[in-house]
Amino acid sequence: MTGPRLTPLDMLARLVAFDTESTKSNLPLIAFVEDYLKAWNVPFVRIPNATGDKAALFATIGPSDRGGVVLSGHTDVVPVAGQAWTSDPFALRVADGRAYGRGAVDMKGFCATALALVPEFLAARLETPIHIFLSYDEETTCLGVVDGIRRMGHDLPRPIAVFVGEPTGLEVTDAHKSVITLTTGVYGHEAHSSKPALGASAVMAAAELVTELGRMAEDYVRRGDASGRFDPPYTTIHVGTINGGTARNILARECHFHWEFRGLPDLDESEIPARFAHFADSVVLPKMRRTAPDARIETRIEVSVPGLAPEPGSTAETLALRLAGRNRTIAVPYATEAGRFQTAGIPTVVCGPGSIDQAHQPDEYITLADLEAGAVFLRRLAASLAA
């Protein structure tokens, strides 16, 4: 049984045409991929989210009685609103050796190449299978792979290695930082600003908390990066938004701020929230409750994306280095879904075509040379897994 033969560029044009911003459904794209795989008689499993408006997809080319190498890519993209695109971001434009479109490099280029090479994977008579795993919500939570990962080793094969195809210029990445985003609500008591002893200002308390986060950030700068591999070479803490109060002359009843930290792989992810909570409970809250007994401070974690830690000599690292023709690994400061796989005990690296510098930009692009390099990498993979 044969289906349509598409080049990686043709497939990329098809995928870019689907507006899969993270706030929207990716089901039309998934349905297109399913029809394509059916035409090639490739088995797949759709893995819907809880609400049914999005889905991941897991396909297997080659033997179905064993685990193989997963090619993992996300189908969602970041928004285009407010960006100065010179052409329709959801219509692939090719010019000057580049293919422009939202998601072209991050990371529909990798997904398109893996899908376009399905006929070649089938012809290779694989002894070890290649799995294609397409996810959703990577740009917001990295949770779109979790349900599929839970099923690996149960009703889905447990892979021997995972290649997450984020754009690394085909450098083999074995380490990246975690990302944890949090929101803190400070709740005081309103009073006239001329009588501060009658209330407690949530804004003033929040300012103390934000200042403490600044002190903590400097502490992590001094602590540095023992591995010497990251840029910047330390765990970062950042406050992104703050909002509170109703008027200049009213002690604020509420104040909320959003913050994040990006931790080196060896950071215990509970450390920073615990330090922050200790300061809030032992310093700020007692001061507020002297004049407002019901004052409170509440922090919740919104998103927690685990980092990727080096696993020297792992199956994924060894294979990827050989296929990419590299003799060393690199570390990157941004987060990916790779940490989710590693947390489940599956050897994982990040390795894909193109440059992260072009991701999330207006007129995002992948070069045609990078697209071809990605195809060469995956052809080498197929040859290495063939009987």
The whole-number pLDDT of residue 55 equals 98
Distance CA 83, CA 233 (A): 30
Cα dist from 307 to 131, 314, 333, whole Å: 23, 17, 10
Q: Does 387 score more than 80 pLDDT?
A: no
Does residue 107 have a cis bond before it (omega within 30 degrees)? yes
Q: What is the CATH number of domain 8-175+308-385?
A: 3.40.630.10
The whole-number pLDDT of residue 17 equals 98
What is the percent of the chain where pLDDT is above 90?
99
Beta strand spans in 83-166 (E): 93-95, 98-100, 130-135, 161-164
What pLDDT band is residue 325 in, cutting at 50, 70 and 90?
very high
190-194: long-range contacts (C-beta < 8 A, 24 or more apart)? 190/246, 190/250, 190/251, 190/252, 190/253, 191/250, 191/251, 192/249, 192/250, 192/251, 193/248, 193/249, 193/250, 193/251, 194/249
Beta strand spans in 153-194 (E): 161-164, 173-176, 178-187
Tokens of 3: 């289906």
What is the percent of the chain where pLDDT is above 70?
100
Q: Does 114 score more than 70 pLDDT?
A: yes
For residue range 262-291, list pLDDT tens digits in order: 999 999 999 999 999 999 999 999 999 999
Q: Does 134 score more than 80 pLDDT?
A: yes
Q: CATH 3.40.630.10 spans which residues of the chain?
A: 8-175+308-385
Q: What is the DSSP letter of 92?
A: -
| Chain centroid offset of residue 154 CA | 25
Closest CA to 361 of 83, 31, 27, 21: 83
The whole-number pLDDT of residue 294 equals 97
Give the list of residues 6+ apart from residue 104 with CB closer than 8 angstroms, or none. Answer: 12, 16, 92, 354, 358, 364, 365, 366
For residue range 332-381, list pLDDT tens digits in order: 989 999 999 999 999 999 999 999 999 999 999 999 999 999 999 999 99
Q: What is the DSSP letter of 157?
A: P
Tokens of 35: 């029809």
**One-letter amino acid identity for 247?**
A
The whole-number pLDDT of residue 371 equals 98
The whole-number pLDDT of residue 358 equals 97
For residue 228, give the 3-state DSSP assignment.
Answer: coil
Q: Does 166 score more than 80 pLDDT?
A: yes
User: Crossing angle for the helix pair 108-116 and 8-16, nearest 10 degrees?
Assistant: 130
For residue range 226-262, list pLDDT tens digits in order: 999 999 999 999 999 999 999 999 999 999 999 999 9
Distance CA 281, CA 312 (A): 41
Q: CATH 3.30.70.360 spans which residues of the chain?
A: 178-305
The whole-number pLDDT of residue 175 equals 98
For residue range 14-65, list pLDDT tens digits in order: 999 999 999 999 999 999 999 999 999 999 999 999 999 999 999 999 999 9
Q: Where are the alpha helices (DSSP H) in 42-134?
A: 108-116, 118-123
The whole-number pLDDT of residue 2 equals 83
**Start-to-end C-alpha separation, the chain:** 21
Q: Does 193 score more than 90 pLDDT?
A: yes
The model's pTM = 0.93
Q: What is the CATH number of domain 178-305?
A: 3.30.70.360
The count of other CB atoms within 10 Å of the CB of residue 293 is 9
Distance CA 360, CA 357 (A): 8
What pLDDT band is residue 196 in, cutting at 50, 70 and 90?
very high
The whole-number pLDDT of residue 200 equals 98
Tokens of 93: 């434009």
What are the backbone dihedrals phi and psi of residue 244, each rounded to the nearest 5 degrees, phi first? Answer: 180, 165
The whole-number pLDDT of residue 1 equals 62
Q: Does 180 score more than 90 pLDDT?
A: yes
Longest dimension (CA), the chain: 82
